[in-house]
Amino acid sequence: MASLFCPYLGDDVDEAQSSLEHVVPESLGGTSGLAIRVDRASNIKLGTAVDGPVAQLFAGHRVKYNLKGHSGNEPSVMLSGSVEDLGGLGVELELTPAGGSVRLKPSVTRDRQADGSVRVSVRGEPEEAQRIYANIKRTHEAKGKTVQTEDQFPQTLQNLRVTGNIKVDLLALARFQAKVALGIGHMLWGPEWSRSPGAQLIRRVLWSTTVGEANAVGLQGGNITPETLGFVLDECEHAFVVSGLPDGTCALASFFFGQVGTATKLGTVNGVSLGCWPIVLLLNVETGILQRPTSLELYRNRRKAAREEPPRPCYSGAS
């Protein structure tokens, strides 16, 4: 039975037990032009524990570019926060490719007055707030209590300032960076590199169970901007740049949606420099086109030139 080397698992697996892996998840605009075959079980595990949480970090971009992912479902973003202008009243925001909506979370407050009565205030969406108030009123009247209804003043709110927190899964992010590095390295240099000591170190990060364990490997550097490498990215672009290091090894800088990226050390193959750098892979999530300029200098020149005629793609795949 035919076998193949899985860069994620770090071992040979039966081809029948493999599956196609998009190095960049389809939920982030990945295409079949940037894909490898890997162990199916590992692919499923990493998709749930790594790709899923990271895709949530880019949920706004997924909605903007309607990146449906493997499931084919239309992306949406649900955010929770509070409205400062309403004393911290909770709010839910939903964003979809078709538009967005805002919903105020209902809030009930009870304040005991000097005469012993209790003043009940209900805030939220008008219809929902009225329904909650009607239930409260009915419950009190059933107990023989007198309920006095004050005037209601529905308001139209504009230019609200909403604040909230977004949870970042740092472990999933570190593992995702390692996963992308293994995928790119395997695609460029095959099993020879994927069996190397450098790839083995990256696999330690990939299968780490804590942030401390991932950081202890020491392969991932600090943040790096595209401008640091002398080029500019559009928001709809991912870029992967392999550059040489002074010690003869190389590193991969990964940039998603034109944002600040990170660098991961790739090492060598059997002590021999990987060479042929810089290597640039440019993926446009709007068109699904993967470009591979022959050098970073060529890439710089093309990016500085008029953008009416984009560089000729060397790969293409469905978005």
Convert the pLDDT of each residue in 60-83 to its tens digit. 999 999 999 888 888 988 888 888
Q: d(Cα 186, Cα 294) in Å, to the nearest integer? A: 19
Mean pLDDT, residues 88-95:
86
Higher pLDDT, 237 or 147: 237
The model's confidence at residue 99, banded by pLDDT at 50, 70 and 90, is: confident
Q: Residue 277: is its pLDDT beyond 90?
A: no
pLDDT in the model for residue 311:
41
Return the H-helix or E-strand segment holding 250.
strand 250-255
User: Residue with structure tokens 């081809």?
Assistant: 15
End-to-end CA distance of the chain: 33
Q: Residue 319: is its pLDDT beyond 70?
A: no
Centre a 10 Å sphere on the Cβ of residue 138 and count the other Cβ atoms it contains: 10
- State the number of CA atoms in the 13 A half-sphere of 259 facing the CB: 5
- Spell out the domain ranges in the chain: 3-71+169-316, 78-163
Q: Residue 10: is its pLDDT beyond 90?
A: yes
pLDDT in the model for residue 1:
63
Q: d(Cα 257, Cα 11) in Å, to the nearest integer? A: 32
pLDDT in the model for residue 140:
87
pLDDT in the model for residue 167:
84
Q: Residue 110: is its pLDDT beyond 80?
A: yes
Higher pLDDT, 162 or 303: 162
